[in-house]
């Protein structure tokens, strides 16, 4: 098996490769949405806005969670399972907090009279809801994947030190983090 292992390390793991391709797809979706936003912005009837501050805080939460999942990955690789579980858990909690903050932010929009949905809504605000909302769903998807990884650890009798699922999880999490940072900057600059 010695040779096999060395060959294996040279090439990228197929699942990771699949993930990268999937990320390319997600990028295309958000490219579609944000370019629609840019096109709409130049047309009459667009109302400008300032993002509620909570979105800045949620950005910080998301950035912190990227650090914590990286710590968790490092701990896993070093077989420090207690530390891994702690930071993996913190990441999940930060993810949930992020989602709550985002949804809270949407309500603040509505509360400030900037209607996102229903009669009298403006596409500018609706876009925030649609784009950031789809992003929240991607975070939710990440949380579900975390749940699956955690449940697998408890479900199996023998110990599994395969780091591929966690590496994939980490890459994905960094991706949704970066994606949100991009969207946040995008909304802040092009309002």
Partner 1 sequence: MSNEIAVQHGVIPHEVHEHHDGHHHHETFITKYVFSQDHKMIAKQFLITGIIWAIVGGLMSVLFRIQLGYPDATLPWLEDIFGHWAKDGKIQPEFYYALGTMHGTILVFFVLTAGLSGTFANLLIPYQVGARDMASPFMNMLSYWFFVLASIIIMASLFVQTGPASGGWTVYPPLSALGDASQGSKIGMDLWLISMAMFVVSQLLGGLNYVSTILNMRTKGMTMTRLPLTIWAILFTAILGILSFPVLFSGFILLLFDRHLGTSFYLSDIVLGGNILPNEGGSPILYQHLFWFLGHPEVYIIILPTMGLVSEVMSINARKPIFGYMAMIASMFAIALLAFLVWAHHMFVTGLNPFLGSVFVLLTLLIAVPSAIKVFNWITTLWRGNIRFTPGMLFCVGFVSMFISGGLTGIFLGNSTLDLHLHDTYFVIAHFHIVMGVSAFMGMFAGIYHWFPKMYGRYMNNTMGYIHFWVTMVCAYVIFWPMHYEGFAGMPRRYYDYSGWESFKHFVELNRVISFAAILSFLVQLMFVFNFFYSIFKGRKVTTQNPWGANTLEWTTPIRPGHGNWPGEIPEVHRWAYDYGKDGKDFIPQTEPVGKDESTH
Question: Is residue 123 near partner 1 by the rule CB under 8 A?
Answer: yes
Half-sphere exposure (Cβ direction) of 162: Cα atoms closer than 13 Å = 12
**Rg of the chain, C-alpha, whole Å:** 20
Q: By CB under 8 A, what part of segment 47-76 binds partner 1?
A: none
Min dist CB 55 to partner 1, Å, is 20
Q: By CB under 8 A, what part of segment 85-114 binds partner 1?
A: none
Question: Is residue 121 near partner 1 by the rule CB under 8 A?
Answer: yes
Closest by CA position to 66, among listed 171, 158, 157, 136: 171
Q: H or E stretch including 138?
A: helix 123-155
For the chain, the first-to-last Cα distance in angstroms comes to 57
Question: Is residue 155 near partner 1 by the rule CB under 8 A?
Answer: no
Min dist CB 93 to partner 1, Å, is 28
Judged by CB under 8 A, the stretch of 15-23, 56-64, 149-157, 170-178 that binds partner 1 is 15-23
Q: Tokens 């997600």, residue?
A: 26
CA separation for the pair 92, 69 (Å, rounded): 9
> Under the rule (CB under 8 A), what is the footprint of partner 1?
3-4, 7-8, 11-15, 17-18, 21-22, 24-26, 28-33, 36, 39-40, 43-46, 116-123, 126-127, 129-130, 134, 162
């Amino acid at each position: 098996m010695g040779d096999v292992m060395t060959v294996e390390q040279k090439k990228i793991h197929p699942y990771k490769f699949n993930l990268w391709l999937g990320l390319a797809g997600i990028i295309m979706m958000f490219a579609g949405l944000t370019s629609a936003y840019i096109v709409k912005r130049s047309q009459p009837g667009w109302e400008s806005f300032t993002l509620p501050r909570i979105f800045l805080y949620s950005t910080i939460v998301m950035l912190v969670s990227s650090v914590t999942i990286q710590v968790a990955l490092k701990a896993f690789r070093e077989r420090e399972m207690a530390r891994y579980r702690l930071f993996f858990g913190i990441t999940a909690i930060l993810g949930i907090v992020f989602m709550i903050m985002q949804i809270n932010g949407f309500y603040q929009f509505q509360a400030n009279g900037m209607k996102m949905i229903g009669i009298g809504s403006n596409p500018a605000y609706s876009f925030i809801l649609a784009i950031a909302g789809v992003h929240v769903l991607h975070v939710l998807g990440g949380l579900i994947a975390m749940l699956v990884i955690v449940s697998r650890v408890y479900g199996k009798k023998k110990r599994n030190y395969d780091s591929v699922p966690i590496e994939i999880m980490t890459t994905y999490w960094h991706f949704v983090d970066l994606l949100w940072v991009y969207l946040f900057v995008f909304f802040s600059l092009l309002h």
